[in-house]
Amino acid sequence: MALLAPPIDETPLDRTIDLLGGAGVLHARPATPLETHDLLQAGLSTRALDHLVGGVGVLKHPETLERALGISERTYYRRKKETPETPLSREQSGRVWTFAKILSRATALFGSLEAAEQWLEAPAMALDQRRPIDLFSTPAGVETLETYLTRLEYGVYA
């Protein structure tokens, strides 16, 4: 798998926002960490979640959706049907944002969304043969993924 540099004009924040449907779905385009905090405090809409799930193949599996985002398939479909503009909870919003942020980093690193999804599903030696997708359920797992991505960005593979 070849590692590629992200386009010069696209920032990690831009890629994260795009994974969630862009400013049109989010009703804002945060430019700073504090603006992102405020957006997540108010709660991402179910439409943002739906855009992410619709664009990311690995999230179409119910067990992966719940493990990675903390939202059951039943809850997702109920919210999508009944209340697409109702905000997610702060915790759910945070988990959805974190997943999108890490996926956007992996997409930039590996050159495509498909390659990033393959990375999420593949056991990694540096993660004790765990799959990255399985580490989203805890803050410690997310921190481990962020460290692992940083190491990959700098060419440290083990």
Q: What is the pLDDT of residue 2?
A: 47
Whole-angstrom Cα distance, residue 112 to residue 115?
5
Q: What is the pLDDT of residue 80?
A: 84
Q: What is the pLDDT of residue 1?
A: 46
- Give pLDDT tens digits for 107-117: 999 999 999 99
Q: What is the pLDDT of residue 86?
A: 84
Residue type, 98: T
Q: What is the pLDDT of residue 158?
A: 62
From residue 133, how far is each of 34, 64, 91, 155 by CA, in Å? 27, 8, 18, 21
Whole-angstrom Cα distance, residue 65 to residue 78?
14
Q: What is the pLDDT of residue 9?
A: 57
Q: What is the pLDDT of residue 104?
A: 96
User: Which residue shows structure tokens 């540099």?
Assistant: 5
Q: Low-confidence residues of the chain, pLDDT below 70?
A: 1-9, 157-158
